[in-house]
Amino acid sequence: MGESGLVRLKAIERVYRTGRVEVRALRGVDLEVARGEFVAIMGPSGSGKSTLMNILGCLDQPTAGNYHLDGQDVARMRKGELARIRNRILGFVFQAFHLLPRTSAQENVELPLLYRDEELSWKDIHSRARAALEKVGLGERLDHTPNELSGGQKQRVAIARALVTEPRVLLADEPTGNLDSRTTLEIIDLIQGLHRQGLTILMVTHEPDIARYAQRTITLRDGLMASDVRHTPLDARQALDDWTEARQDMTPTEVVAP
């Protein structure tokens, strides 16, 4: 990969100090992610995967080490510049969706574009948000507020919000953590679709089943990289079809059987 890496972490350390207690959440992590990769980040709680995600997402800065994102040295940036990176290079998807309540899907998706000062007209903002919602299959639900949407639809709105800025990297933090298994597959299918279109995706998950839909799985343990495995991803579309078939094969008696 070398210089072409979109995400390059070198000897990243992150130390938290609370009073006299010192917690070394990350103890020297090296990671290179090339353009167009789909990487799952795994690890038990306390392994440092959340810390790594915060650093990758430019929400936090490393105590030591280098972080280059899209060729820019983000480890040395000031807060305002980091906000700009988050707005332009990164897209976030969270486990808890984080949609504004009582606000339409359209307006939720427009939100990141409002932080681009006067760059875009309202007309552009509206049409971009509409396009992003169509991309995630919610073109018909622009005016729905989050409480009128199902969990899967909420996450689709959140993904549209992440896509509307045309980011280089999509960061997904347990994107299916609040969803049932069928909806999980639908969302993973959506994410795989984005990946096929060339988007670089980093996804934190604690479920090995979910990680298998990525191309590469990184496992953290005690603040260090424990493994970095490339594998052939499962196809979520295929899994969805199988799931539907299995459902159809079930006879009514089997469904109600104790």
Partner 1 sequence: MKWSAVPYSALRALRRNLMRTLLTALGIIIGVGAVITMVGLGQGASAEVKEQVNRLGQNVVLIFPGERQLGGVSIGGGSANTLTAEDARALREEIPEVIASSPEVRSTRVVVYGNRNWATRVYGQSHDYLQIRNWGVESGEMFTEEHVAEAALVAVVGQTIVEELFEGSDPIGETIRVRGLPLEIIGVLERKGMSLMGSVQDDIVIVPYTTAFQRISGRTHAMVINVQVFDEESMEIARVKIADLLRERHRLAPYQEDDFTIQTQEEVAQMATETSRVMTWLLASIAGISLFVGGIGIMNVMLVSVTERTREVGLRLAVGARGPDVLLQFLIEAVILCLLGGIGGIVVGLLGTEIIASIAGWPALFSAEAMIIAVTVSAAVGLFFGFYPAWKASRLDPIVALRRE
**What per-residue string of b and e applies to 193-202 under the rule 16 or more CB within 10 Å gives b?**
ebbeeebbbb
CB of 235 to partner 1, least distance (A): 30
CB 157 within 8 A of CB 146: yes
CB of 59 to partner 1, least distance (A): 5
Euclidean distance between CA atoms 223 and 52, whole angstroms: 9
> Beta-strand (E) ranges in 48-166?
64-69, 72-73, 90-94
User: For the purposes of burial, counting CB atoms within 10 Å of the CB of 168, is it exposed (0-12), middle (13-18) or buried (19 or more)?
Assistant: middle
Q: Give me the residues that bind partner 1 (CB under 8 A), please.
A: 54, 57, 59-60, 79-80, 83-84, 86-88, 92, 94, 96, 98, 100-103, 107, 111-118, 120, 122, 125, 161, 165
CB of 123 to partner 1, least distance (A): 12
Residue 238 has what DSSP assignment?
H
CB 66 within 8 A of CB 239: no
CB of 237 to partner 1, least distance (A): 29
CB 21 within 8 A of CB 47: no
CB of 14 to partner 1, least distance (A): 11
C-beta of 33 vs 163, nearer to partner 1: 163
C-beta of 64 vs 83, nearer to partner 1: 83
Beta strands 200-204 and 38-42 are: parallel
CB of 70 to partner 1, least distance (A): 15
User: For the purposes of burial, counting CB atoms within 10 Å of the CB of 256, is it exposed (0-12), middle (13-18) or buried (19 or more)?
Assistant: exposed
**Could you tell me the CA-to-CA distances from 220 to 29, 60, 88, 146, 248 in Å, in that order?**
9, 18, 28, 34, 40
C-beta of 81 vs 228, nearer to partner 1: 81
How many other CB atoms are there within 10 angstroms of residue 163's CB atom? 22
Degrees, nearest 5: CA angle 98-103-107: 90
CB of 241 to partner 1, least distance (A): 34
